Copies of this chain bind each other. A is one copy, B any other.
Amino acid sequence: MSKPVVIEVTRGPLVESRHEGVAAVVKPDGTVVGSWGDIDARILPRSANKPIQAMAFVESGAVEKFGLGDEHISLACASHLGEKRHVDTVRAWLKRVGLSEADLECGVHPPRLQSSIEALVRDNAQPTPAFNNCSGKHTGFLTTAVTYGEPTKGYIKYDHPVQRRLRTVMSDLCGSNADAFAYGTDGCGIPTLATPVRLLARAMASMAEPSRLSNKHAAAAGRIRKAMNAEPFMMAGTGSFGTRINEALPGVVQVKGGAEGVFCGMLPTLGLGIALKMWDGAGRAAEVAMATLLGHLGVLPGERREEMLHPPVKNVVGLLVGEMRASKSWLG
């Protein structure tokens, strides 16, 4: 087994904390071109595979049927911060397909951006399901069910056609039967499939360079990549690492992070897919690991490059007291 991904957090002269992970860079045919740690280990992709989960929505013809655009497709792939434009767009989209927030089964959590929380408090308002970071993905699921004339209730369940369709797409993209994967329940209630890192990277590669796929899959993958680059704000929001990456190199890089330290990426010009997971679930380390891998592959945006490779650690008064970085044992 090759050396694992290692991200260090320094403070003064010490490495204060240390994150270990696994990463794979794979071609659409499954050829592994980069491997760190045990890439046959199974991980739960969580939100990092939302672009894959958006495939069936795009393939349903719902985009054309309801006159949707990049902003909606990007939202269907998003873990958004609950900013006004995210919430307003989800609400208007639901209305357009004849539904409302009451149909969302993702639950309610406070928006992730502190300023969004504060805006709610100022308005003396409560968050609603549209504020859930997954509300765009769920609206995509609902829209797919409406398009196919399926019941919308229970669309989050393992055996609902909406979820079955996700597994069919996943099987086609990763080259393995996803119906055989074990699964847990994601934060938003849908199944999250235990996927070997190698296969998750291959699925991303298939989306990045879809010539091996059916025309239908290939067209949907291209449409989704385009939307991720065209509407990076909808993918996450203000200050987000993923939004910054996706807006910087359109056509070259599309990334998506997930809970518990997962990050995936598509590199269409190189014909590669990336999947990585920090074993401890640390999002801070997953971001530095993704930036490091993009740099290693020559596709890290130039703007704020140093800050992405070596995020500063500051104390409360703003003094630089350390940094994060890839360890010398990995790609540092």
Contact = CB atoms under 8 A, between A and B. Distances in A.
B19 A280 contact: yes
B16 A319 contact: no
Contacts of A16: 43-44, 184, 260, 281
Contacts of A280: 17-20, 278, 280, 282, 285
A8 B188 CA distance: 21
Contacts of A316: 106-109, 132, 187-189
Copies of this chain, complex-wide, total: 2
Interface stretch (A54-62, A115-123, A234-242, A265-273): A115-123
Interface residues of A, number: 50
A14 to B, nearest CB: 5
A282 B279 contact: no
A110 to B, nearest CB: 7
Given A17-B279, A279-B17, A280-B17, A11 B44 contact: yes
A14 B315 contact: no
Interface of A: 9, 11-14, 16-20, 42-44, 105-110, 114, 117-118, 121-122, 132, 182-189, 192, 194, 260-261, 278-282, 285, 315-319, 321-322
A95 B193 CA distance: 58
B12 A184 contact: yes
A14 B14 CA distance: 34
A108 to B, nearest CB: 7
Contact of A184 (B279, B317, B321): B321
A16 B107 CA distance: 22
The 7 closest A-B pairs by CB, nearest first: A12-B184, A107-B316, A17-B281, A11-B184, A107-B317, A280-B280, A185-B321
